[in-house]
Structure 1
């Protein structure tokens, strides 16, 4: 590997070098991640498992169907999972029941 004498480089050259190093680090990180994923998948398959089985693959990107809707704005929905949305919390505080918003 060639040695770079950074003490003699101009500020512009150092900034350019820094950008190249950051890009190279990102590419190397992605490559390493892909290699580790492949190694884990191979190891799991040899033992009769999938990676999702072992690590609780919830399936990123899958969304649950909406179960509740804001009657004032039908674009605002909630699946019933996670934190209640502000519109629902406000209506419940005013005495509404959650079943009033069921789809």
Structure 2
């Protein structure tokens, strides 16, 4: 037969309180660790810095670049058609 919380004696309530406190502490620790991991991942990816890492440069004008996200620019398509590799454009 299960006891309800209202029927527990003082010692049983203290034991239950201790187990609940430990469980809450463990949960808080797990949540803090998960938050720290996600923040570390965001920092390592460059998120939050406000700047995006540029990957490819236009061979005709180095001031024009593309980070590899979104629509592929025409100059990149032309360079690929001319036989250049993405690695070449990244190292310009």
Higher-strand-fraction structure: 1
Q: Is the radius of gyration larger for structure 1 or structure 2? A: 2
Q: Give TM-score scaled by structure 2 length.
A: 0.42
Structure showing greater relative contact order (alpha-carbon pairs closer than 8 Å, 6 or more residues apart): 2
